[in-house]
Amino acid sequence: MGLLLLLGIFAFCVAIGAPVAFALGISAIAAFWFEGLPLMIGFQRIISGINVFSLMAIPFFIFAGDLMFHGGIAMRLVRFASAAVGAVRGGLGIVNVFSSMLFGGISGSAVADISALGSILVPVMKEKGYDADYAVNVTVTSSIAGIIIPPSHNMIIFAIAAGGGISISKLFLAGVVPGILMCLCLALAAYIVAVRRGYSAETFPGWTALGLSFVGAIPGLFTAVIIVGGVLSGVFTVTESGAFGTIYAFLVTLLVYRSLSWENFRIAVRSSVKTTSMVMILIACAGAFAYMLTFYQVPSKMVALLTGITDNPILILLMINGVLLLLGMIMDMAALILICTPIFLPVANSLGMDPLQFGIMLMVNLGLGLCTPPVGSCLFVGCAVGKLPIEKAVRTIWPFYMAIFVALMMITFIPAISLTLPNMLG
């Protein structure tokens, strides 16, 4: 009865449009009251949810991404990507994917990726004769790279939701190959669609232009080297690397590129504070909600439920993927990481799946949910940037969904894709 109350109040709050963080907190406190537990324990769980030193890295990562978004780094990355792969048939679509891989690996945010690159590439693609739905669909689906390729604040959230026993540096390493694999699948899909629609190739600008564009992109790309390399080398903790990366991004955009105005700096500060506040409130309330899930033994019951349906690991993993994909269509990613990790991670562990591999599988699943209606924030932003009705984008986006799904299945059933780098370098 208590579990039904917990889930029922949560579902009701979400249905009436309450913020997910409030829905988590209200339902958890109601369950505490129903079970006769001291409400003080509930509020202690809320506070302890954010009383984790590793979470200090999240505002730094978010602020660094906003600085790079508003500081002109995206434009340099687009120039480099265009010079490198723009001469392929339908090259601007592949440029879009390649740019997302580069910028997403620096900003760590799918929405920032769409906002920065979409505002640059979508108008250019339209001018070059590409259909609006193609330009928007490539931009939206390739933005998931920012979630998987490190650094990613969602990986830190997953590590905390998993109980804090997962190495964030190894989790960063685990996302590199899957992120590149997914982008290659999307690039192939972009090429096939471009050929079927008869899009032309761009002219190769020459090796000199390619070299100059690469040199211009190096200062921006080095942000990821500082953040990820500092953690892997042991020079910095994750929090310290985020702080140094933020300082470096600020100095590059201000002194090297000289493209960060005072107004853009204010916008970046305001945006990062708003995003950080929402994330932290969500994590805090999810701490109490996760406590009640454990109190009602939901993880062990889920293991028993799925293994009772079938003992085939392949079918169980397919069912987990299916549930995550459905949930990703209707809820925010950060909230689902906090809710689903303590439920499905024990199931994956019982099947012998490494927590790092499960984390990447979870990220790709929920990232795909950001691109799907009815609550796909990336899809909404991309359509707004491209001035395209959502129904027109959804009508032709399926080849890119299939590309991500192929990458997801490979990540799910081939552990080496996620685990080779962490085992070699971690």
89: β partners: 201
CB 158 within 8 A of CB 217: no
Token readout for 298 is 């939901």
The pLDDT assigned to 400 comes to 93
CB 134 within 8 A of CB 125: yes
- Tell me which amino acid residue 290 is: A
Buried b (16+ CB within 10 A) or exposed e, 181-206: bbbebbbebbbebbeeeebeebeebe
104: CB partners within 8 A, 6+ apart? 110, 113, 142, 143, 144, 145, 146, 147, 148, 149, 179
Domain with 195, as residue range(s), is 2-425
- Identify the DSSP state of 22: H
Torsion-angle region of 417 (φ positive above 0: left; ψ -120 to 50: alpha; else: beta) = alpha
Q: How far apart are CA 88 and CA 207, in angstroms?
A: 15
Report the candidate in 35, 58, 27, 33 with the shortest Cα–Cα distance to residue 288.
27
How does DSSP assign 52-115, residue by residue?
-GGGGHHHHHHHHHHHHHHTTHHHHHHHHHHHHHTTSBTHHHHHHHHHHHHHHHHH--HHHHII
Q: Please give the biggest Cα pair distance in the chain.
A: 72
The pLDDT assigned to 189 comes to 93
Rounded mean pLDDT for each run of 10 residues along the chain, 426 residues in total = 85 83 88 86 80 77 79 76 74 81 68 71 80 89 85 84 83 91 92 87 77 83 76 76 84 84 88 83 82 81 78 90 84 82 88 93 89 75 81 88 94 94 80
Domain count across the chain: 1
